[in-house]
Structure 1
Amino acid sequence: MPNDKITSLDVAKRAGVSQSAVSRVFTKGASASQKTIDKVRKAAKELGYRPNVLARSLITGRSRIIGLVVAYLDNYFYPVALQKLSNALKEEGYHVMVFMASDTTKDIERVVDEMLDYQVDAIVAASVPLSSDLAGRCRDEGIPLVFFNRSQDGDNLTSVTADNFAGGREIARFLAAHRPERIGYIAGFEGASTQRDREAGFLRGLEEAGREVSSRTVGNFCSDGARAAALAMFSAPQHPDAVFVANDHMAFAVMDVLRSDLHLSVPGDVILVSYDDVPPAVWAGYSLTTVRQRTSRMVEETVRVLMNAIETGEAPPVNIKIAGPLIVRGSAPAPLGWTNWAQV
């Protein structure tokens, strides 16, 4: 068991190097020869020494912790994306501290207060809104803030999202090319920018194709809501024969309802398209046609923005939108003559 009384000076003496050399070995990005690194790490292991990260943060003014606030993890998109984000930040010498919050202003304010108490170097807000006062407080305290997979109105806010408008528009073109009799839309949480932008793009694309939505229900980006929305939409005699479901997490529930509860075939009776391309979308039971969110690119841009803001102390607001391809699978085959698509 490591001895808390062992100091960097002890390690330096055992390794036969200076104390500053020990510090460089345990500081990411600092310069040290491989010979020095090997000697210091060997001495540290023998003595049971571990650098005191918290003590170092008092000296450097950096905790090397990124605070991540998220409202839910049941949607497959978030565990996948956040694992990639955590790994990418680790490569930069940072650790991620995850804070869960309900999607309410009061609870989010409590959580962000908690994050600031930990003296995090930056905050990533995934799937949660922040009040303008709270965002302003982060800015005043010099804490970079990035919205991940959700944007928010405001001139001084930075976000990294998919190009949800373009994706929704592409889905409209794709569904319209099938020439269905009726087109439905199952919306997500209406307070989310992802929902707003996907629907706006979808409606624009339908308008350009001379079509419109025949029925609309709201699933709130959750499985129970999606099931209720599907039952309401498809129990009607004149139900849609094509539907866009605002994300994959809801689409899986919708497909289960169509097949198991309503005994409708997908894609025989209803063609279905969604958004995200999470891992279960490739499962044979779903084979979901969906727009892919390019999570690796989104993570790459998020880390780039964060590192620039932390290192320079400046964070000019940017709104980065990353387009993704429509992935065609069994739930909605490509219509005759359709060329702008990817099949996997």
Structure 2
Amino acid sequence: MAEKVTSLKVAERAGVSQSAVSRVFTPGASVSKKTADKVRKAAAELGYRPNVLARAMVSGKSRIIGLVVAYLENYFYPEALEKLSNALQEKGYHVLVFMASQTAGNVDKVVEEILDYQVDGIVMASVAMSSDIAERCQQAGVPVVLFNRYEDREGVAAVTSDNFAGGRKAAEFLLAGGHQRIALIAGWEGASTQRDREAGFRSALSQAGQPVFARGKGEFKAEAARDAARSMFDVPPDQRPDAVFVANDHMAFSVMDVIRFELGLSIPGDVSVVGYDDVPPAAWLAYDLTTLRQRANLMVAETVATLMRLIETPDAAAPRKTALDCPLIVRGSARVPLGWTSEG
């Protein structure tokens, strides 16, 4: 087995101090270009790699961010998480991804495991956290930012789209299109995103004097959404909705497939469909889905900025909730009211 190359050997080869070698491989440390070039040349010749774990023990900073995600079936999350990982890496952090489920205690168990890695921060995408685990993270000095979810209690930072406003926009668009039997296929009841989208949707309908004509539950899952669509639309014409707001695009695609290919109905001739997220397939000609756009770039930028602020100035940076505007993207899956165009 080859002898391990140490920073001392790199320093001797480069003709610099061992501390200079350490500074070269420490993100953000001050070192001249001449010294950095000599050290990196010597390191390459010797095959040296810095011991990140040892440096973390000395500095108290691991430069690792734990990323918790519940599921990746929805197109929105792989794209957003890739952007999030890239943005954190640009800040000099490594990302550890942990999968969790929404079953009782599972998220808390995963976060406890993450804390064992001495992470500098945690981003939780599409999952909720208990008050116990929030307190545990606070005691450990590890900041947490929720991505595309929020908690009602204070003291937990979160970044979402403005889901209430998005739900209102969906209802207002369908009302302006002259629809009289407007339905909803909801997501998972435990998600703040679902609750706010439905609340905004109902608010606009109520203001116009219309009730929700029918409601189904899709749980943010493709098969559950298909079942909800079959129950909702496989009925006599006078009992069938003439429009439906589906709480995310992932479900909306399944709903559209059932409406068109199983039941033989026309979109938007018989039924208008509006989704939420604006994932890439929404723009495909096969779906051409009118939807609310979650601006992943802005959400990621705000999430990273919030996390960096909490890491770098923990005493000065109070956690806050940020809700970003979600523009309506008008396509061909819904009747377009006169004068309406996409907002972005």
TM-score of the pair, normalised by structure 1: 0.96
The letter for the 2-side match of 1:105 is: A
Change in CA separation of 1:254 and 1:61 when aligned onto 2, cut-off 3 Å = same
Do the aligned partners of 1:243 and 1:270 also contact (CA within 8 Å) in 2? yes
Does residue 285 (structure 1) correspond to residue 286 (structure 2)? The answer is: yes
Q: Superposed, which structure 2 residues align to 1:149-228 within 5 Å?
A: 149-228=148-227
The letter for the 1-side match of 2:298 is: R
The letter for the 2-side match of 1:23 is: S
Q: Give the Cα–Cα distance (whole angstroms) in 2 for the partners of residues 158 and 310 of structure 1.
A: 12
Match of 1:231 in 2: 230
Q: Superposed, which structure 2 residues align to 1:137-148 within 5 Å?
A: 137-148=136-147
TM-score of the pair, normalised by structure 2: 0.96
Match of 1:332 in 2: 334
Q: Give the Cα–Cα distance (whole angstroms) in 2 for the partners of residues 327 and 221 of structure 1.
A: 20
Q: CA deviation at 1:38?
A: 1.6
Q: Superposed, which structure 2 residues align to 1:26-175 within 5 Å?
A: 26-175=25-174
Q: Give the Cα–Cα distance (whole angstroms) in 2 for the partners of residues 105 and 43 of structure 1.
A: 52
Structure 1, unaligned stretches of length 5 or more?
none
Match of 1:320 in 2: 322
Do the aligned partners of 2:183 and 2:244 also contact (CA within 8 Å) in 1? yes
The letter for the 2-side match of 1:266 is: I
The letter for the 2-side match of 1:332 is: A
Q: CA deviation at 1:333?
A: 4.5
Q: Give the Cα–Cα distance (whole angstroms) in 1 for the partners of residues 334 and 11 of structure 2.
A: 65
Q: Give the Cα–Cα distance (whole angstroms) in 2 for the partners of residues 326 and 317 of structure 1.
A: 29
Q: CA deviation at 1:253?
A: 0.4
Using the TM superposition, name which of 100-109 and 225-234 deviates more.
Answer: 100-109
Alignment identity in percent?
65
Do the aligned partners of 1:4 and 1:49 also contact (CA within 8 Å) in 2? no
Do the aligned partners of 1:183 and 1:215 also contact (CA within 8 Å) in 2? yes
RMSD: 1.4
Q: Give the Cα–Cα distance (whole angstroms) in 1 for the partners of residues 339 and 310 of structure 2.
A: 47
SS in 2 for 1:342: coil
Q: CA deviation at 1:37?
A: 1.8
Q: Give the Cα–Cα distance (whole angstroms) in 2 for the partners of residues 295 and 106 of structure 1.
A: 28
Q: Give the Cα–Cα distance (whole angstroms) in 2 for the partners of residues 4 and 58 of structure 1.
A: 23
SS in 1 for 2:136: helix
Does residue 256 (structure 1) correspond to residue 254 (structure 2)? The answer is: no
Q: Give the Cα–Cα distance (whole angstroms) in 2 for the partners of residues 265 and 286 of structure 1.
A: 12
Do the aligned partners of 1:144 and 1:310 also contact (CA within 8 Å) in 2? yes
The letter for the 1-side match of 2:138 is: R
